[in-house]
Amino acid sequence: MMGRLKNEQSQLVHEFRLGDTVPEDHLVRKIDTALDLSWLRGELTPHYSSMGRPSIDPELMIRMLVVGYVFAIQASRSIRQAEVGAAKTMIERTEERFGFKPERLVGDTAYGAAPMLNWLVEEKGIAPHIPVFDKSKRDVGTFSRSDFRYDPTSDVYHCPGGKRLGTSGTVHEGKTLLYRASKLDCGICPLKPQCYPKEPSRKIPRDIHERAKDVARSFAGTEGFEKSRRERKKIEMRFAHLKRILKLGRLRLRGPQGAQDEFVLAAIAQNLRRLASLVARAPPAQALRIA
């Protein structure tokens, strides 16, 4: 049997009105003015039995659910998903099942790590419109790695003084090649104070996936990259709101249908927050001050 919320609560020993504790300018009141659920009972009546104990008011249930999403009230702790791994999985599955893949991938620096860029460039042939995650730039007044020119034909670096830095080919920590200058060259170089003043010779680390990083760097500043960046910001603002404000870092319902249901509810919560801020009337006291 469909129940209905009763306003009469005088039978309670301690009378308490929740509405009296909610400020006039609270988001809940703004949503209440924008959300009309008067149609809900008529739609759900055929699905309720005419016998038995009354249920919770369905309008109350929907309002509680909406409030839960609007204010990120969850029954479980949110866990940040591995977004990069999820992106790779989606691309691989799409290519496997439908035979196509994106021409470009747009992302922030979380996607700019060397292994991810190498997977995009070398394995998938996807243009990475992604800022490269790079800590090689120095802020202490000495030459950064970008001041050294790499020659892919000879596999050597050329320093600002015109000397060569070569590598033995040993991969350190499974990911880095070291290119070293000659101690003789560095010892007599007039640029040594600007290069590596505390060491006998300069060395340059190069990631084994540096070529993929160079490809990503080549897109930076182009018209296509800037367009991708603007498009990314529009989308990421919505997803950031979902994850940080509505705490949708983890889906609680399983399967595609469960994921769709959660995203629909989260989108409703987002739209209600925006609609409430646009159409809700100001509280009477505030309206008087404005007048």
Domain count, the chain: 3
The string of pLDDT tens digits covering residues 118-132 is 999 999 999 999 888
Q: Where does the pLDDT of residue 281 fall: very low under 50, low under 70, confident under 90, or very high at 90 and above? A: low
Sign of CA dihedral 259, 264, 267, 268: negative
Tell how strand 104-106 and strand 203-207 pair up. Answer: unpaired
pTM for this predicted structure: 0.54
Do 62 and 120 lie in a common domain?
no
Do 239 and 114 lie in a common domain?
yes
Note whether residue 8 is domain-resident. yes
CA 271 to chain CA centroid, nearest Å? 19
The string of pLDDT tens digits covering residues 92-111 is 988 998 888 989 998 888 78
Q: Is the pLDDT of residue 113 over 80?
A: yes
Do 224 and 88 lie in a common domain?
yes
Look at residue 58 in the predicted model and tell me its pLDDT: 76
Do 226 and 87 lie in a common domain?
yes
Strands (E) located in the chain? 104-106, 127-129, 149-151, 156-158, 164-172, 176-180, 203-207
Distances in whole angstroms, Cα of residue 251 to Cα of each of 122, 144, 261, 263:
32, 43, 10, 9
Note whether residue 14 is domain-resident. yes
Domain that includes residue 50, residue range: 1-78+255-291
Pairwise CA distance, residues 24 & 6, whole Å: 23
Look at residue 170 in the predicted model and tell me its pLDDT: 92
Pairwise CA distance, residues 166 & 155, whole Å: 7
Do 160 and 87 lie in a common domain?
no
Single-letter amino acid code for the residue at 251: L
Note whether residue 101 is domain-resident. yes
